[in-house]
Amino acid sequence: MLTWAGIICQNGLCITPCHHGREFIYLGGMVVTKSRQVSLRNKSILGLENMTVAEMELVLDTAKEMKNIIDRDIKKVPTLRGKSIINLFFEPSTRTRTSFELAGKYLGADVVNITTSASSVVKGESLRDTLMTVEAMGVDVIVMRHQAEGAAHYAANTVSPLIINAGDGAHEHPTQGLLDMFTIKQYKGNLQGLKIAIIGDILHSRVARSNIWGLKKMGADIHIAGPQTLLPRFIEQTGIHVHNRVEDALEAADVVNVLRIQLERQKKGLFPSAREYARIFGINQVRLALAKPDALIMHPGPMNRGLEIAPDVAYSEKSAIQEQVKNGLAIRMALLFLVLMGGKNIETIA
């Protein structure tokens, strides 16, 4: 047990406001102080389009420390005690929702899940009224997933709790973008200059868009590939490389991020069959040999094994897919901490 400024810190970690309104992260005995002129406190996280490099780096650095907590025997810390978080999910989700729920709970917040299929939304309640109802209960953060692009922006403009976008249609999924960056950094050291291939259904993918916004700002060299029908027209104007041959994107890639293919796209005529997709665009060992020998394999999940990714690739030692899930939890802990408790000058004492 450590004490500082009269506040008891348990489990080796204590994050608490000090008397000057600045915040400190405690992690054990040695002291390293890092001062930043950046803060996410009281900011909604709507997308990586709106985040600066300094803000993203703050999240990544904070997540590194949060990750240590996940492996502990007793994970709960009192940092966000008294804060309440609502998971408002209008679309199905396993990993993102669970991840946010555990992130809030590990940090001591109260977390409530609302699944819209069992809420007043089925009675036709508007998004405004649902949000205002949640607001009236005094919640601090609304984590929201919604099928409509811009729904998180709408929420942030409509109610006072902070909004964390957990996916809005095909627009953005910022926590996935951050956890992907975090994972790449973990294995590759940094992001600058890396060739990153994003493969599959870019058109309908919020994961792809958050990756593109974030990684571009971090200086990575982004190549997207897939059937031309699943690549957004005009996206090359944003300064990324677009290929309709998967092989061209894989060539000497440092990272291969494989996206989920939704089978309903086939019904709309965007590709002829699952079999053909796997044969021409699927990531298997033969195609992967085009990438760098130490290439990292990523997938946001849930996977269609044997369709967009071969099982022997997904479970290979190059795969960071499991690590992505763990990192997702760390990133969400970091974000919840930073928007609720982060200070103007964050001093990290490790």
Smallest separation (angstroms) from other proteins to the CB of 327: 24
Nearer residue to other proteins within complex by CB, 203 or 283: 203
Q: For this structure, is 36 an active site residue?
A: no
**Chain-centre distance for alpha carbon 231:** 22
Q: Which of 99, 129, 126 is nearest to 111 (CA)?
A: 99
Smallest separation (angstroms) from other proteins to the CB of 176: 13
- Catalytically annotated residue among 43, 146, 153, 173: 173
Nearer residue to other proteins within complex by CB, 20 or 267: 267
Q: For this structure, is 305 an active site residue?
A: no
- Catalytically annotated residue among 43, 97, 145, 195: 145
Q: For this structure, is 145 an active site residue?
A: yes
Nearer residue to other proteins within complex by CB, 206 or 287: 206
- Are 292 and 253 in contact, with CB atoms under 8 Å apart? yes
Smallest separation (angstroms) from other proteins to the CB of 238: 6
Strand 84-89 with 141-146, pairing: parallel
Nearer residue to other proteins within complex by CB, 40 or 224: 224
Smallest separation (angstroms) from other proteins to the CB of 143: 17
Long-range contacts of 155-159 (CB under 8 A, 24+ apart): 155/127, 155/131, 156/44, 156/46, 158/127, 158/128, 158/131, 158/132, 159/131, 159/132, 159/134, 159/135
SS3 339: helix
Q: For this structure, is 96 an active site residue?
A: yes
Secondary structure of 184-253 in the HEC alphabet?
HHHHHCCCCCCEEEEECCCCCCHHHHHHHHHHHHCCCEEEEECCHHHCCCCHHHHCCEEECCHHHHHCCC
Residues that bind other proteins (CB under 8 A): 49, 126-128, 146, 148-151, 153-154, 169-172, 204-206, 209, 212-213, 232-235, 237-238
- Catalytically annotated residue among 36, 95, 217, 241: 95
- Are 328 and 96 in contact, with CB atoms under 8 Å apart? yes
- Catalytically annotated residue among 62, 79, 96, 130: 96
- Catalytically annotated residue among 20, 123, 233, 267: 123
Nearer residue to other proteins within complex by CB, 96 or 319: 96
Smallest separation (angstroms) from other proteins to the CB of 153: 4
Length of the chain: 350
- Are 340 and 162 in contact, with CB atoms under 8 Å apart? yes
Q: For this structure, is 173 an active site residue?
A: yes
Which residues form the catalytic set? 95-96, 123, 145, 173
